[in-house]
Structure formats: C-alpha cells, structure tokens
Amino acid sequence: MWKLIKGRKWLVMVLVVAVIGAACGGGAAAISSSDATATPEPAQVDTPTPVPGSTASPSPTPIPDRTTGPVPTPGPQAEPSFTPGPEPDFDPAVRFKDILGRFKWRTDFSKHSVDYNDILVAQIRDGIPPVDEPKFLPVDPAPFWIGDLEPVIFFEINGDARAYPLQILTWHEIVNDTVGGVSVVVTFCPLCNTALVFERTVDGTVLDFGTTGMLRFSDLVMWDRQTETWWQQIGGEGIAGELTGVRLTQIAASIISWQDFKTGFPNGQVLSRETGFNRNYGRNPYTGYDSINSSPFLFVGPEDDRLRPMERVATVEINGEAAAYPFLVLEDHPVVNDTVGGVPIVVFFSLGTTSALDRDLIASSRDIGATGVYRRVLDGRELTFVADGDGFVDNETGTRWNILGRAVEGSMAGKTLEPVVHANHFWFAWGVFKPETRIWRPSG
C-alpha cells in the first residue's frame, strides 16, 4: 500500500510496509526508486475480487493479533526519486490523479476538500465488496446463526425496522438498500468501530456506494458509481470529485444486541447471509483489535490525548456542538441527562451487547454494552431519567423505558422518544474529525 505525502509543493510517494495476510489474499506491490515517477500498478492480490455467486474470499484489511505484542516497525526505506513540477504552479491533484491513473478512476481529482497527503491506499477498489442486492429474513422464526447478544445496526423508517448484523457488515462495510421507501446506505468501518446510515439520494439521483480501498485517518472512504465522487464515512461528506462538499443526510441508527432488536421488533427483518459472497460470517477477522491498550491500525494524523485512542465513545453533534460520552464512564453512569446544541437529550447505556472486534467468534466476544440517544422532550414536557435495574425511569411520570427509547410500563406506556443521530466510535476516529468535542464527565 502507499502513503501519499507532499514535499514542499509537490507530492512524492513513500512505500509503506504493512502486514498483509488473509484479508487481501496477497501483498502490496513494491515500488522501486527508479519507478517512483511512473504511475504504479495497484496492489496485487492472489485472489481476484469476486462477483456475486463466486467463492473467492478476499477479506478486509488484516489486523495483527494485538495480543502478541506491537506491530513490527518497518525498517528505513530509501527515498524514491521523483521529478518535481514547477513549484509555483504545481497542483497536487494532478500528480494524485496520475498516481491513481491505473485504478481506472473517472473522479475529477482537481476538485477536492481534503489534503491528499492524508489518503492511504489500503485495498483495491471494492476489494471489500458492498452488498448491492440485500436479502432479508423475518425475525420470527429467528435465524439460528446469530447469537442473542451479537451486535446489529438497527434503524427504522416509516415503520420498516431492519437489523444488519455486524458479523456480515464487517466483511462488506457497505449495504445499498431501500428501507421504508427510502434509499439508504448502511456503512460500518471496523477500524473505527463506526456504524453510520445515510440517505443515498442526492439532487434526485440515487447513488450506489462501494469501497474505494482508501482510508483517511483510518476511516473508510466510499465512492459512488454514478459520479465516482469519494465520500468520507464519518460525516458523510464528498471529499473529492464532482460532489465535493455535498453532505449526505444521516439517519439515526444504533448498535444494539440481536436480542433487543427481535424483542422490540418481532415483525422486523434481519439481513440474510445470502449476500452472493462466500465469507466466514460470524468470525471476526480483526481479532483483538479493540483492546483498550491497542493502537489504531493505519492511522496517521493528529491525536487527541484526552482519552485513549481505542476508548469507545457515544458521540452526538447538534447545532454545531459535539459531545462524547465514554463507555467506561457510562458503565458507572448509565443515564446521562444533557443538553447539546440547545437540545435536551438523554443517553442510555446498558450491558448485553458483545463486541464485533474482540474474539475470533463474535458470539463469544466480551460484553461491551450498547447506547441509545434520544431527545428528552416528549409531548411538550421535558423529562429527566434515572437508571433502574436493567431499564430507565423518568422522574416526572415514573414511566419505565428501555434501551430502544420505548415506554414499556407506566402512564406513558406505548410512547417512544425521538432518536438522535449518534454513533459509537473509537475515540481516535471521532477526535481527529471533531477536536472541539466536549467530553462528558459526571459532576462532583
């Protein structure tokens, strides 16, 4: 893989040595110093990118086993030769387009909103293939292959409730779907633990998304097939190409347990393993990655040391204000009544959801819990909440609520709090994009 960096006012390429294993099915192609000014071939893989129905199985970018010690540091590399363009007029986008020319991109790289130096080429385009024709199964009878505490991405649109198991999303990262009549893209970046859902209609055109093979600050960079614009997953913004600066509309979604979903939505649907690809669904190719003592993989960027890089946080941004709620704090304070951007919100936390990035088998991984974030104004009344056993109670009416924001017992039974767009990130991933974030701490 290559890291693109700029020297003075031009770009040079430096070979980045990385651990390549089962995930890519092969190794990255080395670039000799004599070839540094030529357009490089994309990384070669022993297993071709599959088409639906194939049995070839390249997997996501591999993560070293963090239990065996730190990743070896590459030895020093000879600086490749290059021929700089005229310094006053050199456009980095021109060199960037030349470098990626053989990837067959039609992207207008002269239009971009980010520094191309921050882009890492980690995979071939759609080497991690999206799911374009998702199939679903009813909750009842429940599929046998998913454990009760396994994590799923959950959201509901117009009464259509869907669950997307991370045991599937870990291997595909993107699902193009239509839910409740709305075209959506469901995304998961394992390196950042970021599950985000967006509407995928822009100016009346439905976009189909895939993986570019690129990372920026370790986060997934997507592309759409209609314009070949590149999109940052965190934030959902076009960062290179025709739709640079356009921001996708984000949909409120949560990572919850399969048990919570099937109990709360007995008429819901769950993504089937019939994806058209042969993968080891249920197994985690990133074993041990989410250890609190681990380090981000393929992350190059500024660090915010207010929290440890791999600490999980629930994050919210409303009206220009960003706030983060560390899981380690939420374990002791499972209800947070807060105000963000002038909006009263509540953060619920409960144990009972496993990590998708811990052990080899997701079903047997450790319990890291789940969050739900909601507006706490309902029917014109501002509510305040406290934890009560495995549920939550509001002080104003004594109604009991669950992690889904539903009133299950009391005078407000049957009502539902309005969900707030939020996500559960590793801190490094959110902090690099939102350094102004306020980190919630209990008072006193």
User: Do 327 and 202 belong to one domain?
Assistant: no
Burial class (CB in 10 A: 0-12, 13-18, 19+), 388: middle
Q: How many domains does the chain have?
A: 2
Domain-located, residue 428: yes
Of 103, 310, 302, the residue nearest 214 (C-alpha): 103
At 389 the pLDDT is: 87
Q: Can you give the pLDDT at residue 370?
A: 98
Tell me the residue range of the domain where 399 lies.
Answer: 312-439
Give the pLDDT mean for 32-40.
27
Shared domain for 187 and 252, answered yes or no, is yes
- Assign 300 a pLDDT band (cuts: 50, 70, 90): confident
CATH number of the domain encompassing residue 156: 2.102.10
Q: Are 433 and 324 within one domain?
A: yes
Lowest mean pLDDT across 2-6, 153-157, 187-191, 410-414: 2-6
The pLDDT value given to residue 24: 34
What was the pLDDT predicted at 98?
57
pLDDT by residue (tens digit) across 94-110? 555 555 666 788 999 89
Residue 122's pLDDT band (cuts 50, 70, 90)? confident
Q: Encoding tokens for residue 358? A: 């811990």
Using the predicted structure, report yes or no on whether residue 15 has a pLDDT greater than 60: no
Q: Is the pLDDT of residue 381 over 60?
A: yes
Over residues 140-161, mean pLDDT:
96
On whether both 148 and 266 belong to a single domain, the answer is yes
The answer to whether 206 touches 199, Cβ cutoff 8 Å, is no
Highest mean pLDDT among 53-67, 120-134, 258-272: 258-272
Give yes or no for residue 377 having a pLDDT over 70: yes
- Stretch among 88-102, 257-271, 272-286 having the lowest mean pLDDT: 88-102
Question: Using 50, 70 and 90 to split pLDDT, how confident is the model at 8?
Answer: very low
Q: Is residue 62 part of a domain?
A: no
Segment 128-157 mean pLDDT: 96
DSSP code at position 260: H
267 and 140 share one domain: yes
Judge whether 110 lies within some domain: no
Looking at residue 444, its pLDDT comes to 65
Task: Write down which residue in 219, 242, 271 finishes a domain.
Answer: 271
Q: What kind and span of H or E run contains 270?
A: strand 269-271
Q: Which residues contact 132 (CB under 8 A, 6 or more apart)?
A: 52, 176, 208
Q: Report the candidate in 311, 306, 314 with the shortest Cα–Cα distance to residue 293.
A: 311
Specify the pLDDT at position 23: 38
pLDDT, mean of residues 39-57: 32
Same domain, 257 and 372: no
CA distance 218 to 120: 8
Instruction: Look at residue 281 and tell me whether its pLDDT is greater than 70.
Output: yes
Place of tokens 């670039």: 31
Asked if residue 375 belongs to a domain, the reply is yes
How wide is the angle at C-alpha 234 spanned by C-alphas 316 and 178, nearest 5°?
A: 95
Residue 105 lies in a domain: no
Residue 421 lies in a domain: yes
Bridge partners, residue 231, by sequence: 222, 238
Query: What value does the mean pLDDT take over residues 176-189?
Result: 98
The answer to whether the CB of 440 falls within 8 A of the CB of 314 is no
**What pLDDT is recorded for position 120?**
87
Q: Does 102 reside within a domain? A: no
pLDDT band at 5 (very low <50, low <70, confident <90, very high): very low
Domain boundary among 217, 238, 271: 271
Give yes or no: residues 324 and 267 share one domain.
no
Q: Give the least confident one: 57-61, 191-195, 263-267.
A: 57-61
pLDDT tens by residue, 425-444: 999 999 999 999 999 999 86
Quick one: average pLDDT of 47-57? 33
Residues 6+ apart with CB under 8 A from 72: none
Q: Enter the pTM of the model.
A: 0.81
In a domain, 47, yes or no: no
pLDDT of residue 402: 97
What per-residue confidence (pLDDT) applies to 104?
A: 80
Last residue of a domain, one of 245, 271, 297: 271
What is the pLDDT at residue 276? 95
Domain co-membership, 333 together with 213: no
Q: Are residues 260 and 351 in the same domain?
A: no
